[in-house]
């Protein structure tokens, strides 16, 4: 799509009790589903407007992650918020950090050293314990823990859920997703922890270009989702 506007900006949305909108040549931007794109804060609206303003002659949606996230929150998450929250919470039943290598002792040592502190943090964060196992066969997590996690996820709004869902799926870990959400880990620190197994195998067998490209993409997703969280809480 060719750029069809001269100027993108953020401004208060009329009659919306402090919400903001992005305008292109004075006309409010709509979501892909034609919903009003009402944002809870000037900082977020300005950041989304900056993505539109940065577009050259041809609009590149892939270069506008914040616009993608807020549209997803409004069009897809809000109408089914409870279902999305339940999907995110379900990651706690099979979190990456609960599984140790059972036939690679050196990798097991790395996992224990890097992941055990994260599990300690998570147990304090949610108030429930997590069960750790060796191998890839599923292990049941305590029902109390799963309920506590679900309660915490259920408290989030649609924009927060969108960011947490992005990070959780990118890293394969709800614990790592929440560690970034809470500011306990930076996006890069958490993402590196999620790559522990992959990096170990790459050191043994070499790197694959396709896998490297995938890692770059997922790292950027975690970074941009964290930026969304930061903007939601900015003044």
pLDDT at 6 over 70: yes
Whether 227 and 137 map to the same domain: the answer is: yes
Whether 150 and 91 map to the same domain: the answer is: yes
pLDDT at 183 over 90: yes
Whether 120 and 227 map to the same domain: the answer is: yes
Per-residue pLDDT of 209-221, as tens digits, reads 898 999 999 999 9
* Gyration radius (Cα) of the chain, Å: 20
pLDDT at 88 over 70: yes
**Domain-located, residue 85:** yes
Name the nearest CA neighbour of 159 among 55, 47, 24: 47
Between residues 24 and 211, the one the model is more confident about: 24
pLDDT at 198 over 70: yes
Name the nearest CA neighbour of 9 among 47, 58, 62, 55: 47
Domain coverage including residue 43: 8-63
pLDDT band for position 64 (cuts 50, 70, 90) = very high
Whether 126 and 224 map to the same domain: the answer is: yes
State residue 202's pLDDT score.
Answer: 86
State residue 235's pLDDT score.
Answer: 57
**Domain-located, residue 3:** no
* Mean of the per-residue pLDDT values of the chain: 95
Query: What is the number of domains present in the chain?
Result: 2
**Domain-located, residue 75:** no
Q: Locate tokens 């502190």: which residue? A: 117
Whether 97 and 168 map to the same domain: the answer is: yes
pLDDT band for position 20 (cuts 50, 70, 90) = very high
**Domain-located, residue 72:** no
Can you tell me the distance from the alpha carbon of 204 to that of 159, in angstroms, rounded to the nearest whole number? Answer: 40
Can you tell me the distance from the alpha carbon of 6 to that of 82, in angstroms, rounded to the nearest whole number? Answer: 39
Is the full-model pTM beyond 0.85? Answer: yes
**Domain-located, residue 17:** yes
Whether 86 and 148 map to the same domain: the answer is: yes
Q: Kindly report the CATH number assigned to the domain that includes residue 55.
A: 3.30.2180.10
pLDDT band for position 67 (cuts 50, 70, 90) = very high
| CA distances in angstroms from 231 to 32, 40, 92, 103, listed in the order given | 22, 9, 26, 44
**Domain-located, residue 222:** yes
Whether 89 and 164 map to the same domain: the answer is: yes
């Amino acid at each position: 799509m060719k750029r069809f506007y001269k100027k993108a900006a953020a401004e208060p949305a009329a009659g919306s009790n402090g919400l903001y909108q992005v305008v292109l040549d004075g006309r409010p931007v709509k979501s892909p589903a034609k919903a009003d794109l009402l944002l809870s804060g000037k900082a977020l609206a300005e950041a989304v407007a900056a993505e539109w303003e940065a577009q050259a002659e041809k609009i590149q949606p892939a270069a506008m992650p914040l616009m993608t996230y807020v549209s997803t929150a409004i069009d897809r998450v809000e109408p089914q918020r409870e279902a999305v929250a339940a999907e995110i919470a379900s990651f706690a039943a099979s979190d990456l950090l609960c599984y140790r290598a059972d036939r690679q002792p050196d990798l097991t040592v790395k996992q224990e050293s890097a992941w055990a502190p994260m599990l300690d943090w998570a147990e304090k964060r949610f108030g429930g314990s997590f069960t750790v196992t060796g191998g890839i066969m599923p292990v049941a997590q305590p029902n109390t823990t799963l309920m506590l996690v679900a309660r915490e996820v259920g408290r989030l709004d649609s924009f927060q859920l969108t960011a947490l869902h992005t990070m959780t799926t990118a890293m394969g870990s709800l614990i790592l997703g929440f560690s970034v959400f809470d500011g306990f880990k930076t996006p890069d620190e958490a993402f590196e922890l999620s790559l522990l197994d992959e990096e170990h195998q790459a050191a043994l067998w070499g790197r694959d270009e396709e896998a490297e490209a995938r890692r770059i993409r997922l790292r950027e997703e975690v970074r941009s989702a964290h930026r969304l969280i930061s903007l939601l809480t900015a003044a």
